[in-house]
């Protein structure tokens, strides 16, 4: 009975349970196994359904090697500047506990489930393994997971249903995985969201920051759908993937929002045209930023700020370049995280505008 009484052993370290595996799957040339660390991050726990090779890579990541690393990055706090409430027509939602400023961190959490994206297993087979993954989590995490929203409401596939309604995609070991972050899962969608998220796979974490100022008791929203797609395409995507009809401000005025997108598109084409007869101008760059803000697209301003930085540099304005390269870097950080590849370029442009290939390239245009 010793084994039964002590199911948690160190034999599989850092995993606390013996991995449970499928047979070899030819399509991915590997089995997939459930790996659980039930003590992860002060007993929050984490279960990963992935290949043995990727599990080895994950086991080497800092959060599994050094228990203090997540806390030092402010990940998995006990509480944050938000609370959950029932909202008319949306189920639960997340509201701001107090006023928030653009750039403030809202949530930072690790997932309780990470599952390799595949279409090899049958639905019942996948459910069997994902159920083991969730069952092996500490009680409070399992309960939290099973309390989340579902799409179909079919209890026989509840573990997949929760993933369908709540998962984000996270790249691990070169393969896409689905990740469920229970706290962040309560955030609803808006096509003009006031918050922006990014994933940091090296920390196994998901971060959300305010994309503009948010008032106390205002709902905190993120975008589930590509925000620059036309109204019909966004609606279609949300209905198909999440089974709801979006009634956000941009969707209530679908025609106006499509016209604004067209204007944005035209301005971006003009600013991206480096030929001699380009209509690019700093006036157009400023108009583009205004248009993004009017549409509530603050979370996606990196593109507009980037155009502005290059346009100001192209007419030899160091001040304009510095201002917008800095804002572009900041917007990129909110959207892709502090290790985003584009950051170096904007920082370089901000510190040495004259060295950039765009310097005075349109010196005749004002």
Ligand X SMILES: C[S@@+](CC[C@H](N)C(=O)[O-])C[C@H]1O[C@@H](n2cnc3c(N)ncnc32)[C@H](O)[C@@H]1O
Kindly tell me which residue out of 61, 149, 228, 343 binds ligand X, with binding defined by CB under 6 A.
149
208 is a contact residue toward ligand X (CB under 6 A): no
- Are the CB atoms for 111 and 170 separated by under 8 Å? yes
Q: How many CB atoms lie within 10 A of CB 60?
A: 9
323 is a contact residue toward ligand X (CB under 6 A): no
361 is a contact residue toward ligand X (CB under 6 A): no
Kindly tell me which residue out of 109, 242, 305, 346 binds ligand X, with binding defined by CB under 6 A.
242
The CA-atom distances, in angstroms, between 182 and each of 46, 197, 357 are 12, 14, 45
Nearer to ligand X, 14 or 93 (CB): 93
144 is a contact residue toward ligand X (CB under 6 A): no
189 is a contact residue toward ligand X (CB under 6 A): yes
180 is a contact residue toward ligand X (CB under 6 A): no
Give the interface size with ligand X as a residue count (CB under 6 A): 20
Kindly tell me which residue out of 185, 223, 235, 311 binds ligand X, with binding defined by CB under 6 A.
185
Distance CA(67)–CA(125), nearest Å, equals 33
Nearest residue to ligand X by CB is: 91
Subset of 244-263 contacting ligand X (CB under 6 A): 244, 246, 248
Nearer to ligand X, 147 or 269 (CB): 147
The CA-atom distances, in angstroms, between 204 and each of 40, 108, 135 are 12, 10, 20
Kindly tell me which residue out of 17, 44, 126, 186 binds ligand X, with binding defined by CB under 6 A.
186
| Least Cβ distance, residue 189 to ligand X (angstroms) | 4
The CA-atom distances, in angstroms, between 235 and each of 47, 193, 232, 249, 296 are 33, 15, 5, 13, 17
Q: Are strands 105-109 and 168-172 parallel, antiparallel or unpaired?
A: unpaired
314 is a contact residue toward ligand X (CB under 6 A): no
Subset of 84-103 contacting ligand X (CB under 6 A): 89-93
| Least Cβ distance, residue 241 to ligand X (angstroms) | 8
Using CB under 6 A as the criterion, which residues of the chain lie in contact with ligand X when the complex forms? 89-93, 148-149, 151, 165-166, 185-186, 188-190, 242-244, 246, 248
């Amino acid at each position: 009975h010793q084994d039964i009484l002590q199911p948690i052993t160190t034999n599989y370290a850092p995993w606390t349970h013996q991995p449970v595996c499928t047979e070899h799957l030819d399509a991915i040339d590997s089995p997939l196994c459930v790996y659980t660390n039930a003590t992860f991050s002060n007993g929050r726990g984490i279960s990963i359904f992935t290949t043995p090779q990727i599990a080895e890579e994950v086991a080497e990541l800092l959060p599994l090697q050094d228990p203090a690393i997540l806390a030092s990055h402010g990940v998995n706090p006990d509480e944050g500047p938000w609370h959950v409430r029932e909202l008319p027509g949306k189920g639960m939602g997340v509201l701001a506990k107090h006023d928030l400023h653009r750039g403030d961190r809202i949530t930072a959490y690790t997932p309780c489930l990470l599952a390799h994206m595949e279409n090899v297993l049958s639905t019942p087979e996948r459910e069997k393994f994902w159920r083991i993954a969730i069952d092996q989590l500490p009680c409070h995490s399992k309960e939290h997971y099973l309390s989340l929203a579902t799409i179909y409401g079919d209890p026989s596939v509840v573990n997949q249903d929760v993933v369908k309604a709540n998962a984000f995609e996270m790249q691990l070991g070169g393969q896409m995985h689905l990740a469920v972050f229970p706290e962040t899962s309560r955030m609803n969608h808006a096509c003009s969201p006031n918050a922006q998220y990014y994933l940091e796979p090296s920390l196994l974490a998901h971060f959300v920051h305010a994309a503009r100022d948010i008032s106390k008791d205002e709902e905190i929203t993120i975008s589930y759908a590509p925000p620059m797609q036309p109204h019909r395409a966004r609606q279609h995507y949300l209905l198909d993937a999440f089974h709801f009809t979006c009634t956000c401000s941009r969707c209530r005025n679908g025609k106006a929002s499509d016209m604004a997108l067209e204007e944005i598109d035209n301005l971006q084409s003009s600013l991206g045209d480096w030929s001699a007869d380009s209509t690019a101008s700093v006036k157009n760059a400023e108009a583009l930023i205004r248009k993004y803000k009017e549409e509530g697209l603050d979370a996606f301003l990196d593109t507009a700020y980037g155009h502005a930085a290059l346009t100001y540099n192209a007419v030899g304005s160091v001040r304009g370049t510095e201002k917008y390269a800095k804002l572009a870097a900041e917007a990129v950080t909110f959207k892709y995280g502090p290790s985003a590849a584009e950051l170096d370029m904007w920082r370089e442009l901000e510190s040495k505008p004259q060295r950039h290939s765009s310097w005075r390239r349109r010196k005749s245009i004002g």
